[in-house]
Amino acid sequence: MKKSIKIVLIISLFTMMIIPFKAEATTLKEYEDQVTKYTKELEEKQSKLAKNESEVKEIKQNIAALEKQIQQAEQDIIRLEEEIEQSNEEIKQKSAESESLIEYYQLAEGENAYLEYAFGAETITDMIYRASIVEQLTEYNDQIMKELEELIKVNEEKQDQLAIKKEELAKLIEEQESEQERIEYESDQLREAMPTIQQQIDTYKQQVEYWKNKGCKSNDVLGVTCAVPPKVSDDVDVSNIMGANGFRLPMNKGYLTQDYKGLRHLGVDFGSTNKSEPIYPVASGQVIYVGQDSAGANMVKIVHNVNGKLIFSTYGHMRAVYFRKGQIVSTDDMLGLMGSTGNSTGPHLHLEMTTCDWTYNCTYKVYKNSTISPWTYLPKVTRW
Ligand SMILES: [Zn+2]
């Protein structure tokens, strides 16, 4: 990309970001719709959150149940191990029994003296009988051993199956846990978004309330078909207070009482014989702030776009303000009435002009150092 194109692109992006003239809601209904929209959004998030919470509860129960099954499987494995050991023990015993029986039997086939000694047999018939018993007993032992071996095999198979089941259960737990984590993350996101939505609701509710109090109905265009701000009367000649650059003095009649002195007096003070002299914006622009300073002085701030450069004007001590933040104003819109609110000894207008504003794009410290003499733009008339 060419350097010059790059610069142009950066400048236009920057301009788009700082130029504040964005479209505001024009009818009361639009503000009401915003309240409805954000309220609905908040309710949706709340119900999703509730759903998530019950899902997490269910998952936790599932995990607990799975853990119980794993415990059961572990116990079963141990029990089978014990059974296998016991079977092995029995096999050993039976094998030893058989061996000793066979030993006696073998001895019985030898000498009679041993026979007598071994079996206590008194006759040969008795001896034969006893030998057949031995044979039956060893066969019986063999049978039992076979059965025990079979049982061990079955138990070992059961153990293998239980080990597999245990692994599957552990995998299920893992799945449930990652699902729980996902839901909890989502819930966190929902919770984080809620205060912002609530703020939007409150802001729009305030707007609705403000305009309703001014007598506006749903389909009224705010400031146009209702709560129309007073305009400058046609019979007043403002040609002497209106500069060619589009700036004007902030009142139709008045005089300078205090000049701009940089950091020692950040603006100029104007007085008028009419204690409630109407105040007008020094140029067309957008209201960016309506409020009070710490001493209770009413304060209105307007941003002006002077050939792409932002200039800010601040109006202090007014007794009435007719405009709201966000509204577009022109030089014949009556902003409010001169007054003596806040730290003031009598009705006057304190006017400050700056190249940035602490309510908009800079800190108060920077703001104080960015004041300019209002005479840079205003027609220099000290009494009119
Ligand atoms: Zn002042």
The partner residues of 303 in beta bridges, in order of sequence, read 286, 312
- Contact between residue 206 and residue 38 where contact means Cβ atoms under 8 Å apart: no
Residue 28 Cα to ligand 1 midpoint, Å, equals 36
Q: Within this chain, do residues 156 and 263 fall inside the same structural domain, yes or no? A: no
Q: Which one of 149, 184, 211 terminates a domain?
A: 211
Reported as a pLDDT band with limits 50, 70 and 90, residue 203 is confident
Q: Bigger pLDDT: 121 or 39?
A: 39
**Assigned domain for 383 exists:** no
Q: Domain holding 341: CATH number?
A: 2.70.70.10
pLDDT score for 259: 97
How much is the mean pLDDT over the chain?
Answer: 85
Residue 326 Cα to ligand 1 midpoint, Å, equals 25
104 is written with which tokens?
């006696």
Residue 306 Cα to ligand 1 midpoint, Å, equals 24
Give phi and psi for 339, each to the nearest 5. Answer: -160, -165
Task: Tell me the residues surrounding ligand 1 (ion) with CB < 5 Å.
Answer: 269, 350
Q: Within this chain, do residues 324 and 177 fall inside the same structural domain, yes or no? A: no
pLDDT in tens, 71-81: 999 999 999 99
Q: List b or e across 266-303, with b for residues whose CB sees 16 or more CB atoms inside 10 angstroms.
A: bbbbbbbeeeebbbbbbbbbbbbbbeeeeeebbbbbbb
Among candidates 21, 4, 18, 22, which has minimal Cα distance to 309?
Answer: 18
Among candidates 298, 308, 304, which has minimal Cα distance to 357?
Answer: 304
Reported as a pLDDT band with limits 50, 70 and 90, residue 27 is confident
pLDDT at 211 over 90: no
CA 54 – CA 262 distance, rounded (Å):
63
**Assigned domain for 370 exists:** yes
Q: Within this chain, do residues 194 and 264 fall inside the same structural domain, yes or no? A: no
**Average pLDDT rounded to a whole number, residues 202-208:** 83
Q: Which one of 150, 178, 211 terminates a domain?
A: 211
320 is written with which tokens?
């009435």
Residue 340 Cα to ligand 1 midpoint, Å, equals 11
Report CA-CA distances (Å) from 324 to 207, 276, 278, 288, 289: 9, 20, 17, 8, 8
Residue 238 Cα to ligand 1 midpoint, Å, equals 24
Q: Within this chain, do residues 279 and 337 fall inside the same structural domain, yes or no? A: yes
Residue 314 Cα to ligand 1 midpoint, Å, equals 11
Q: Within this chain, do residues 43 and 166 fall inside the same structural domain, yes or no? A: yes
Q: Most confidently modeled of 15-29, 118-132, 261-275?
A: 261-275
Residue 263 Cα to ligand 1 midpoint, Å, equals 12
Residue 351 Cα to ligand 1 midpoint, Å, equals 7
SS (H, E, C) the chain: CCHHHHHHHHHHHHHHHHCCCCCCCCEHHHHHHHHHHHHHHHHHHHHHHHHHHHHHHHHHHHHHHHHHHHHHHHHHHHHHHHHHHHHHHHHHHHHHHHHHHHHHHHHHCCCHHHHHHHHCCCCHHHHHHHHHHHHHHHHHHHHHHHHHHHHHHHHHHHHHHHHHHHHHHHHHHHHHHHHHHHHHHHHHHHHHHHHHHHHHHHHHHHHHHHHHHCCCCCCCEECCCECCCCECCCCCCCCCCECCCCCECCCCCCEEEECCCHHHCCEEEEECCCCCCEECCCCCEEEEEEEECCCCCEEEEEEEEECCEEEEEEEECCCEECCCCCCEECCCECCEECECCCCCCCCEEEEEEECCCCCCCCCHHHHHCCEECHHHCCCCCCEC
Reported as a pLDDT band with limits 50, 70 and 90, residue 12 is very low
Q: Within this chain, do residues 269 and 170 fall inside the same structural domain, yes or no? A: no
CA dihedral 100, 104, 109, 113 (to 10 degrees): 160
pLDDT at 297 over 70: yes
pLDDT at 190 over 80: yes
**Average pLDDT rounded to a whole number, residues 10-24:** 41
CA 76 – CA 64 distance, rounded (Å):
18
CA 25 – CA 33 distance, rounded (Å):
10
Residues spanned by the domain of 119: 28-211
Altogether, the residues listed in the chain come to a count of 384
Residue 307 Cα to ligand 1 midpoint, Å, equals 28
Q: Within this chain, do residues 302 and 356 fall inside the same structural domain, yes or no? A: yes
Q: Within this chain, do residues 168 and 293 fall inside the same structural domain, yes or no? A: no
254 is written with which tokens?
């008045």
In the chain, how many domains are there? 2
CA 139 – CA 107 distance, rounded (Å):
18
**Assigned domain for 237 exists:** no
Crossing angle of helices 124-213/112-119, nearest 10°? 40
pLDDT score for 15: 41
Stretch among 19-33, 191-205, 240-254 having the lowest mean pLDDT = 19-33
Residue 141 Cα to ligand 1 midpoint, Å, equals 117
pLDDT score for 4: 52
Give phi and psi for 333, each to the nearest 5. Answer: -85, 125
pLDDT score for 98: 82
pLDDT in tens, 93-149: 988 888 887 777 666 665 554 455 556 666 667 667 767 777 888 888 889 899 999
pLDDT score for 134: 78
Residue 270 Cα to ligand 1 midpoint, Å, equals 8
Residue 364 Cα to ligand 1 midpoint, Å, equals 17
29 is written with which tokens?
């209904």
CA dihedral 348, 261, 293, 312 (to 10 degrees): 90
**Assigned domain for 21 exists:** no
pLDDT score for 136: 85
**Assigned domain for 8 exists:** no
Residue 173 Cα to ligand 1 midpoint, Å, equals 71
Q: Which one of 176, 211, 246 terminates a domain?
A: 211
Q: Within this chain, do residues 67 and 129 fall inside the same structural domain, yes or no? A: yes
**Assigned domain for 331 exists:** yes
pLDDT score for 7: 47
Residue 317 Cα to ligand 1 midpoint, Å, equals 9
Residue 341 Cα to ligand 1 midpoint, Å, equals 12
pLDDT at 46 over 90: yes
pLDDT at 232 over 80: no
Q: Within this chain, do residues 32 and 122 fall inside the same structural domain, yes or no? A: yes
pLDDT at 315 over 90: yes
Reported as a pLDDT band with limits 50, 70 and 90, residue 21 is very low
Q: Within this chain, do residues 93 and 167 fall inside the same structural domain, yes or no? A: yes
**Assigned domain for 5 exists:** no
- Integer-rounded Cα radius of gyration of the chain: 48
**Average pLDDT rounded to a whole number, residues 3-12:** 47
**Assigned domain for 174 exists:** yes
CA 40 – CA 352 distance, rounded (Å):
42
Q: Domain holding 60: CATH number?
A: 1.10.287
Residue 177 Cα to ligand 1 midpoint, Å, equals 65
Residue 277 Cα to ligand 1 midpoint, Å, equals 16
Q: Within this chain, do residues 35 and 144 fall inside the same structural domain, yes or no? A: yes
